[in-house]
Structure 1
Amino acid sequence: MLHDYRDAQSHLSVPLPSSSVQQLERWKPPTGLNYKVNIDATIFPRQKASGFGVVIRNERGETMAAVSARGPLVQNSKEAEALACRKAVEVAMDLGFRDVTLEGDNISVMSSISSTSINRARLGFVYDDIRCMGRGFRTFHVNHVRRTANTVAHSLADAGLIEGEMVWLEQDPPPARDALYSDSCHISL
């Protein structure tokens, strides 16, 4: 029976094309004295809420700060991500970080924050607020990353269904320990 099971498993496995393997992006630590601020958001329609996840890490991949928070009901993922970005910038600023790179996996939101043109869309004031707060840092960069490079923030956003807000300073947040471990396995120092 074991032989039949293994034989069946080999027939069920689907090989990944080499191009898919190459597209797998992992989290990369920042360089120098910069800090990476990864964000993600999720929507909980049944609970009429959203969840935000923020993690700030240094060049060794160590968690400097992390936040898992419940947010308001939003219309779509774009709105949730924009509000999560604003929350992340506010947290980084309040904690005194001076050189940050904001990373998220929603290309539309990250592009809107990076843009220097006036955004008259419904969320334009949120993007303007983030850019204005970003000027308070010594260096402020915005990057889009794939979901596979944003798993820690995603884990924290999923845990955001809790009431209020959970903050961890210089310790790994329990909801994201597996994702942090996975990231650390791919960091070459």
Structure 2
Amino acid sequence: MELMVMVVWTLWYRRNQIKTRHLDFPTSQVVPQASQTLSDFKLHNISLPSLQGVVGHVRAQAQWSPPPMDCFKVNFDGAIFLELGKAGLGVVIRNWQGNVMASLSEQAPLPISPDIVEAMAAAREISFAQELGIRPFILEGDSDVVIKTFMATEDSLSSFGHIISLAKSTLTTNE
């Protein structure tokens, strides 16, 4: 069942690549690509042992640092509000002195995963910075997987890869 879902998703992804970028890969590669993507997904989503009963488990506090002079730092974060069936997207733009130059908070329909919420927040961050003419800026957020996807040169086949690809394409066309 999982492989079938991944094959359907890969066909959908292939179709979108053909329509939007005129890129194509042979249909003979759909099943191998889907199988590889499913393997990658399973590898990166291994269940961690329960931390129930662990005392003193504390996440290291991150320290914010200002961007270089004449640059901005644009921070994003996403939140899930299950009781409302909504996601929250937040953006804060700071200058090199750490002063808040702009901020944004929006609600969005609740997507299927926290990573999608973070990707939506990151994409909104980029469009917000561009709307305000903020340049140059440094993208910052607490989702390693979203940041790594932004930094990657190849398109991501993750559930939020299309969101990141669209945001990255606006960066290159508006520079």
Name the residue aligned to 1:79.
Answer: 116
Name the residue aligned to 1:9.
Answer: none
TM-superposed deviation, 1:125: 1.2
Name the residue aligned to 1:59.
Answer: 96
Name the residue aligned to 2:162.
Answer: 125
Considering Cα pairs closer than 8 Å and 6+ residues apart, tell me whether 1 or 2 has the greater RCO.
1
For residues 14-29 of structure 1, the aligned pairs below 5 Å read: 23-29=60-66
Matched, 1:30 2:70: no
Match for 2:156: what amino acid?
Answer: N
Q: Which of 103, 115, 119 pairs up with 2:152?
A: 115
Name the residue aligned to 1:49.
Answer: 86
Q: Which of 105, 121, 142 pairs up with 2:142?
A: 105
Q: Which has the larger displacement, 100-109 or 118-127?
A: 118-127
TM-superposed deviation, 1:32: 1.5
Is the CA contact (8 Å cut-off) linking 1:36 and 1:58 kept in structure 2? yes
Alpha-carbon distance in 2 for matches of 1:57, 1:121: 30
The SS at the match of 2:88 is strand
TM-superposed deviation, 1:137: 6.2
Provide TM-score, normalisation by structure 1.
0.59
Provide TM-score, normalisation by structure 2.
0.63
Query: What are structure 1's unaligned runs of at least 5 residues?
Result: 1-15, 139-189
**Residues 71-110 of structure 1 deviation map (CA, whole Å, 9 limit, x = unaligned):** 1111111000000011110000000012010101010111
Alpha-carbon distance in 1 for matches of 2:103, 2:148: 24
| Aligned residue-pair number | 120
Is the CA contact (8 Å cut-off) linking 2:72 and 2:136 kept in structure 1? yes
Match for 2:168: what amino acid?
Answer: R
